[in-house]
Amino acid sequence: MSKKVVLISAAIAVAVFGVSLYAIAGEGMKGAMPDPYIPKEKVMKMKEMMMNMKPDTLEASLMRGEKMFNNPKLGKNETGQSCATCHSGGGSVGGAAEMNWKGMKMMVAIPTLKGAAVNFPAIRGPMKRIADLGDMNNMCIMTFMKGLPLNKNMRPAVDLQTYIGSLSKGKRYKIGGKKIVPTPIPGAM
């Protein structure tokens, strides 16, 4: 990669990440909705970056995503957990994970990810937010793994979705579907 491309990529990463944080900040909040579009100057840089992209394949994305899924350092987390700690082999290890919500501790049953991707976007969590698959992946990184979320406008976030999506192969797409908990846990959300 040339120096120029590296610099442009870094600038876009910062620009786009800034935009997504802004989106989260304005999301579902009362009052005026922030502008949902990416500013023109940033779009120019994105277009330039697209010109310099190398062709990719689904197989390569799937392999990168699966590697991320099993990486105990994903999100630079220091808990030593990977996605597979709870969703072993893309399934569920059973039981529930603890979540803090507005000062309250609650138990949330661990769902299987086999057949999960087809249900998104869907309403999830105690905040009753409409979430897509990338949001859910980030929610687990932030909430359970105590790590940094992935920038949804960059390739790694898509790679992780490719892998989770592959666990729903052949399933019928139905947005808004419920999570699949193999053995329901009494008292858990």
136 forms part of the interface with ligand HEC (CB under 6 A):
yes
Among positions 157-186, residues that touch ligand HEC (CB under 6 A) are 160, 164, 179
- Nearby residues of 33 by Cβ (< 8 Å), 6 or more positions away: 26
Among positions 90-119, residues that touch ligand HEC (CB under 6 A) are 97, 108, 110-111, 113, 116, 119
Question: Minimum CB separation from ligand HEC for residue 39, in Å?
Answer: 30
Q: With beta carbons less than 8 A apart as the criterion, state whether 168 and 117 touch.
A: yes
> Among candidates 22, 55, 48, 59, which has minimal Cα distance to 37?
22
Q: Which two tokens stand for residue 26?
A: 């304005």
152 forms part of the interface with ligand HEC (CB under 6 A):
no
Question: Minimum CB separation from ligand HEC for residue 58, in Å?
Answer: 18
19 forms part of the interface with ligand HEC (CB under 6 A):
no
Q: Tell me the residue nearest to ligand HEC as measured from the CB.
A: 83
Rounded Cα gap, residues 87 and 45, in angstroms: 37
Q: Which two tokens stand for residue 86?
A: 């709870």
